Structure 1
Amino acid sequence: MKLSIFISSAIFAATTLAAPRKRGLADRVQRRACARHLSAPAKIVHEGDITVGSNVSHAVQYSNNWAGAVLTAPPSGTTFNAASGQFTVPTASSAGGQAGSASIWVGIDGDTYGNAILQAGIDVSVGADGSQSYDSWYEWWPNDATDFSTGQFSFTAGDIISISITSTDSSDGITVLTNESTGQTVSQAVSAPSGSSTLGGQNAEWIVEDYENGGSLVPFANFGTVAFSSCVAGTADGQSVGTVGATVLEMKDSNGNVLTDVSLPSSSEVQVVYHFLQHVLLSPAQASLGRSPQLAHLLNQPLSPPQSSSPTSFTEFNGALGTIRTPAAELIPSAILPNRPTLNIADLELLHNYDTSTSYTLATIPALQNFLRLNVPRIAFSQPFLLHGILAISALHLAHFKKDLRSHYLTQAHHHYQLGLRIATPLLAVMNEYTSSALYLFSTMITTFTLGMGPRAGDFLLFGEHGLAEGLVLFRGMRSLLEYHPEILEKSDLAPMFSISIRQVLRQPSNDQHLESLRHCILESTTNFADVQVYLEALEKLSRSFPPNSTSGSRPSQTSPQTAFVWLWRLSDEFLSCLQKRDPIALVILAHFCVLLNDLGSLWCMKGWADHLLSEIHKSLGEEHRMWMNWPMEEIGWIPGT
C-alpha cells in the first residue's frame, strides 16, 4: 500500500533531501525497476490452515501483491504501537529478461485495518542488463512514499538492515532504518496526512511487495530469499508479541502461479522465498509434471559440442584431491558463468562441515559416502554452481543442529542455493560432457535442500498448491535429458555412483505381501486399461526400492536414500499427473512409498515428511480407499488427527 515511481540517475544523484516521488514511467524504466504506486489490499483467493515451525497453526491467504506475515489483531484490550525486524539485503535478478523490483518493509496497520499504514523499507531493483539499484523510504499511507537520499542512508546487497516503526499516538510516528553492517542510521518523524487516516493499531506486518504503477503491478524481481529475523510487535500496554498466530500471505500472479514460499521458522522469524524455477521455467501445467519448455526443446536437440578439442582448452592443477581438469572458459558462455567470488571464512566453515559431517549423512552406503566426500568437491571446484550447492546443503545441515545460530545458517543456505540456481539453470541449454556431471549432482542437492527445509503447507513433493516441489523440478528435468542422451554419463565422473544406483534399479522386485495385496486391489477395482498400466508400472518400480524378502521391521537397516529416491526419478509423467489430480489409487501408492520415507526418518533432511504426506493423503481419500492405506499407517505408527 505505498506509492512509487522510477527516477533517473541524474535526478537521484542530485537529490539531497527526502522528497516524495512523482515522476513518470519512462524515468522509472531508465533508472530502476522500483516504482511505488497505490497498492491494492491483499486479495484473498482462498484460506486454509498451515502448520509451520513447532506445531503452530497459521491461517494462509493468497494475495496478488503481498507476501510475508501479518498479525491481524493485537492482544485483547490493547493496540499495536510498534513493529520491528531485520533482514539481509538480497541481490535481485530478472524474472524473465526484463527489469524488475521488489519492496521489503515493516509496518503498522493496512490489512484488516485499512485507513492507514505507517511503514518504512527498501526497494531492490534489477535492470534488464542485470544492473542493481536500491532505495530506502518511509510512508504514511495514503500519502506518497518519501525517499531517504543516498547521503542519508545507503546500503548494498549483503548488508543487514534493521527497521523500527513506532507510533507515539494515532496521528504521529517515527521510522528508523539502521544498516547494521555499516552502523549508519536514519530516522524520520511522520504524521498522519488527515484526520481520516489515523492509525488503529490493529495490524503489524513483515512484507515483500510487488507494487503498482499506473494501476498495474510492476515486473516483480526475483529477490531470492528474504529472511526477516528479530520480528517483534509492541503494544500500548508494554507487551512484546512475536509472529505466533500471524496470518501467512503468499503471492499469486494473474495466471494463478504461486510466486512465493513463506514460512515462519520460529516465533521471531518470517522467511519469504521466491519460487525461481517454477515461475521462470514452468507453466502451471508443466510444473505439475516437472518439465519446462526449455527442457522439452532440449530433448530434441543434439548436445552442444565443445568449441575446441585442443589441449589448450583445459586448465589443470594438482591438489589434495587429485588433478582437476577445468574446461576452458569458451566452453561455457561468459554471460552465464560470473567471476568466482573469493571464499571467506564462513564459506570455508561450510566446506569443512560438508567434508567432515554432511557428506556422511547423505548416503548410508560407504562407497557413496566416500564419493560424496571426495569426488563431488573435486568436481565442484571447476563448476561454481555445484560448489554453491555444497555450501547450501552444509549450511542447512548446520541450521538443523545449531539452534542458537539457526537464522544465521538459514540465511547462508538460501544465499548459496539461489546463487547456484541462477548459474545452473541457463547451463541446461548448453549442457555437454563437461557440465553434465555437475548439473546432475546439483539437481540431487536441490532435492535434498527441499527436503531439508522440512514439510511446508500445500507442498507434498509430488503434488500440491505449487505442483511438483521446486527441488524436484530440475531433478526430473535432468532425468528427461539423460534418458535421451545417456552417452554423456557413460564415461563421466559419475560412473562409480551410477554403477551402484543401476544395481538398485535392476534388482528383483520385493515380494512384500502388502505390495502384492495392493496390486490385486488395483486389478480388481480398476477397469480402465490405461490407468491400470500407469498404476502397476509405478507400483512395480516402487517394489524395487523395497528390499527383497522385505518384512516388517527389517527395512530401517537396509534402506538407503538412493534406493528410496530412485523411485521418484523413474516415475512416469502420467503417474505424476494422477497425483496432481489427487487420484485415489495413485495417492495410495504414494502412501506405501511413505513407509520408505519413514525408514529414513532418522536422517536430518527427512524428518517429518512421512507424517506430512500421510496426513494429506488420508484427508484426500474417501473411506473405501482409506482402507487401502492401513498397512502404511500401521507400519509408520501414524494415527489420523495427529
Structure 2
Amino acid sequence: MDATNARNGALNAMRKGHAVRIVFHGKQNAIIRGPASVGSLSIHSAADPQKIGPGTSASIAPFTRLRELELMHHWCTKTCHSFTVKLTDVFQSHAVKEALKHEYLADSLLALTSLHIASETSDPVVAASYVNTALQYQNNAVPTFRAALQNVTQSNCDAIFTSSILTMACSIVSPLLPAGDNDKAKSPTESILLLYDFVNGISSVVDISRQWLESGPYRVIFRSSSQREVEPLRESEALPAIIQLMNLNNTVTGIANSPLHQTYECAIGQLKKCFGEDKHSAVTWLAMAGEDFTNQLQKREPMALLIFMYWGVLLDKLDEMWWAKYSGRKIVEELSENLRGYGNEWEEATRWAKIQVGL
C-alpha cells in the first residue's frame, strides 16, 4: 500500500461517526466518536501488535528494536518538550509509565516522536521513512484507543488524555510531511482545520475526568491564570496589524451588524486576546473563533483565510510546540500565495505575516 492510502487509513479510521454517548461527544477523531464504519486497518506495525513477553524478544526485527530505542531516546530528550514547560516532566516520566500499561498511548507517543524526527530531517528519503513509521503507529493505536474510550475510568483517564493530545498533534502535522516520492503534502489549511474538532474533543475528555485529572500529574493544567505563569505575546507589537484586520472586515463585509461581520469580528477579537494573554491559549483559538468561522474557512472565503493566516503567525511563536510552529509557518507560506491580487491593503497585511514568520 502506498503512503497516501496509509495516511488516509490512519486518519479515516478516526473520522466522525456515531456518537459514543456513554463516554462523550465531539467530532473527527476516535477520541470523540466511534467511526460509523471503520473497516479493517490498512497497515500494521512492524512489531507484533500484541504484547510481547520476555521470552519472545527474538521475534522482534532488529530494525524495529533499534528504531524504537532511538524514538524513546528522542522522546525523553526532545519530543517530551513539545507542549509546555510545565508539562515536560509529566510527558517525560509519567506519560512513559502510562504507555507501559496502555498500548495505544505507546503507539501515539512513538508516532509523534517519529514525526518530530521527520520534521527535522533534511534528507527526504530518511524523513519519509520516519513518516511511514509514524503512520504505522497511528494506525495501530486506533482500535485499542477506541476500545478504551468506551470506559473512561480513574485508572485510564491519564492515558486517554495524553493520547488525545498526542493524536491531535500527529493528525495536524503528519499530512504536512510527504511519506515518499508519490505522496504529496496536504494543504496546511485543510490539515490544521482538524484542530477545531480535536480541541472540542479534548474538552469532552476533560468534562468526564476532570476530578481525576485535577488530582493527578496533570493538575498544573487546571490551575487558574492567577496561579500559573503566563507568557504574553506582546499584544502592542501586533495591535496595528489587528486593527488593519478589523478595518478590512468593515470594508469586506460592509454592514457592521451582519452575521458574517460579527463572525469575523469575534474571530479577530479572540485573536487579539491571544496575542495579549498566555501564548499557549493560541492553540485553542480556532475553537474559540467558532463553527461559523470554521465554515467560512472551509469555503476558503478570502477574509476568513486572512484572519487564519494571522493565526499562523501566532502558532509560529510557539517555539517549544514544534508541531504548532511548523504548521503555523506552513499556513502563512500557503495563504500568502493564495491571497495575492486583492489590493494594496491585503498585500500589506500579507507582507506583515510573512515578515513575522521569517519568509
Residue 572 to residue 604, structure 1, CA distance change in 2 (3 Å): closer
Indicate which of 72, 96, 101 corresponds to 1:351: 72
Maintained 8 Å contact 2:313/2:329: no
Corresponding letter in the other structure for 1:368: L
Closer/same/farther in 2, CA of residues 358 and 547 from structure 1, 3 Å limit: same
One-letter amino acid matched to 1:565:
V
Q: In the aligned structure 2, how far is the partner of 1:635 from the partner of 1:366?
A: 26
Aligned to 1:491: 215
TM-aligned CA deviation for residue 538 of structure 1: 2.2
**1:200-226 deviations in whole A, cap 9, x for unaligned?**
xxxxxxxx4xxxxxxxxxxxxxxxxx5
Aligned to 1:463: 190
Q: Deviations over 1:560-616 (max 9, x none)?
A: xx3431324544222211211112222121011121233347975457634532354
Indicate conservation of the 8 Å contact 1:592/1:629, yes or no: no
Match of 2:137 among 416, 427, 432: 416
- In the TM superposition, residue 513 of structure 1 has moved relative to its aligned partner by 2.7
How is 1:427-576 mapped onto 2 (pairs within 5 angstroms)?
427-453=148-174, 455=176, 459-461=186-188, 463=190, 468-469=193-194, 473-482=197-206, 486-487=210-211, 489-499=213-223, 510-511=235-236, 512-523=239-250, 525-526=252-253, 527=255, 529-547=258-276, 562-576=280-294
**Alpha carbons of 1:368 and 1:425: their partners in 2 closer, same or farther (altered >3 Å)?**
same
Closer, same or farther: CA 408–341 of 1 in aligned 2, 3 Å: farther
1:389 maps to 2:113: no
Q: Equivalents in 1 of 2:343, 2:168: separation in Å?
A: 30
Asked if the contact 2:196/2:287 (under 8 Å) is kept, the reply is no
Amino acid of the structure 2 residue aligned with 1:420: A
Residues 448 and 587 (structure 1), Cα distance of their counterparts in 2 relative to 1, 3 Å cut:
same
Greater RCO (CA < 8 Å, at least 6 residues apart): 2
The aligned counterpart of 2:33 is none
**CA 1:601–1:507: 2 relative to 1, 3 Å:** closer
The 2-side partners of 1:392 and 1:412 are apart by 7
In the other structure, the counterpart of 1:597 is 315
Question: In 1, distance between residues paired with 2:326 and 2:250?
Answer: 32
Residue 273 of structure 1 is matched in structure 2 by 7
* Equivalent residues in 2 for 1:172-187, closer than 5 Å: none
Alignment deviations for residues 38-77 of structure 1 (CA, whole Å, 9 cap, x no partner): xxxxxxxxxxxxxxxxxxxxxxxxxxxxxxxxxxxxxxxx
Identity score, percent: 19
Matched AA of 2:351: M
Report whether the alignment pairs 1:374 with 2:93. yes
Q: Per-residue CA shift, 1:469-501, capped at 9, x if unaligned? A: 4x7754542234545775564434421134388
Look up the equivalent residue of 2:149 and give its one-letter code: L
Secondary structure at the aligned position of 2:176 is classed as: coil
Change (3 A) 1:385 1:507: same
Cα drift, residue 442 of structure 1? 1.5
Relative to structure 1, the CA distance from residue 510 to residue 638 in structure 2 (aligned partners, 3 Å threshold; closer, same or farther) is closer
2:35 matched residue in structure 1:
none
List runs of 5+ in structure 2 lacking aligned partners: 27-48, 178-183
Contact 2:157-2:209 at 8 Å conserved across structures: no
Please, which runs of 5 or more residues in structure 1 have no aligned partner? 1-207, 209-225, 228-260, 263-271, 283-291, 302-337, 549-557
User: SS in structure 1 opposite 2:7?
Assistant: strand
Matched to 2:166, the amino acid is M
Whether the aligned pair in 1 keeps the contact of 2:188 and 2:330 (CA below 8 Å) is no
Question: Kindly tell me: are residues 468 and 590 of structure 1, through their superposed partners in 2, closer, same or farther at Cα, counting changes over 3 Å?
Answer: closer
Decide whether the 8 Å contact of 1:489 with 1:495 is kept in 2: yes
User: Counterpart in 2 of 1:132?
Assistant: none
Conserved in 2, the CA contact under 8 Å of 1:597 and 1:606? yes
What residue is the counterpart of 2:52 in the other structure? 341
What amino acid does structure 2 have at the position aligned with 1:535?
Y
1:273 counterpart SS class: helix
Change (3 A) 1:452 1:300: closer
1:399–1:410: 8 Å Cα contact kept in structure 2? yes
SS of residue matched to 2:78: helix
Name the CA distance, whole Å, in 1 between partners of 2:156 and 2:231: 27
Q: What is the distance in 2 between the residues matched to 1:629 and 1:601?
A: 26
Taking a change above 3 Å as real, the CA distance of residues 453 and 279 of structure 1, as seen in their structure-2 partners, is closer
Q: Provide the residue aligned with 2:29 in structure 1.
A: none
Render the CA deviation track for 1:374-432: whole Å, top value 9, x for unaligned. Answer: 23223323322112111122223334456475454334322222212232134333334
Number of matched pairs:
313
**Contact conserved, 1:443 with 1:475, CA < 8 A, in 2?**
no
Aligned 8 A contact 1:588 1:629 in 2: no
Q: 1:390 to 1:626 in 2, by over 3 A?
A: farther
Q: Which amino acid aligns with 2:317?
A: D
Distance in structure 1 (CA, Å) of the matches to 2:339 and 2:10: 32
1:577 aligns to 2:311 (yes or no): no
1:366 Cα deviation from its structure 2 partner: 3.3
In proportion to residue count, which structure has more helix? 2
The structure with the larger Rg is: 1
